[in-house]
């Protein structure tokens, strides 16, 4: 499995969780007389935490790799 495939799987799963949380929130709100049940709120919170952690970890790793590469280029020029 290539790196590109792994990234696409993680991003798509995070996006799917985020979209499922949004859709569930809207459905619960409009189908239950403008009331969202506690279980739905817990699911939405978990979907947001999962999506945020996936996107945050990926951005952190990419920024550290860029920083590492720039440091290595500096060291090789000296």
- Among residues of the chain, what percentage have pLDDT more than 90? 35
Quick one: 21 exposed, middle or buried, by C-beta within 10 A (0-12, 13-18, 19+)?
A: buried
CA neighbor of 19 nearest in space, from 35, 43, 2, 42: 43
Q: How many domains does the chain divide into? A: 1
pLDDT of residue 55: 83
pLDDT classification of 60: cutoffs 50, 70, 90: confident
Residue 1: inside a domain = no
**39-50 burial by CB neighbour count: b if 16+ within 10 A, else e?**
ebeebbeebeee
Token readout for 55 is: 């996107």
Residue 2: inside a domain = no
CA neighbor of 42 nearest in space, from 24, 26, 27: 24
Residue 6: inside a domain = no
Report, as an integer, the average pLDDT of 34-44.
89
Residue 27: inside a domain = yes
Model confidence, pTM: 0.69
């Amino acid at each position: 499995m290539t790196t590109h495939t792994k990234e696409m799987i993680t991003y798509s799963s995070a996006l799917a969780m985020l979209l499922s949380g949004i859709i569930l929130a809207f459905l619960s709100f409009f189908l239950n007389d403008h009331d969202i049940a506690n279980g739905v709120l817990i699911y939405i919170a978990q979907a947001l935490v999962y999506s945020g952690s996936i996107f945050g970890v990926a951005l952190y790793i990419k920024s550290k790799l860029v920083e590492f590469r720039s440091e290595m280029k500096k060291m090789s020029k000296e």
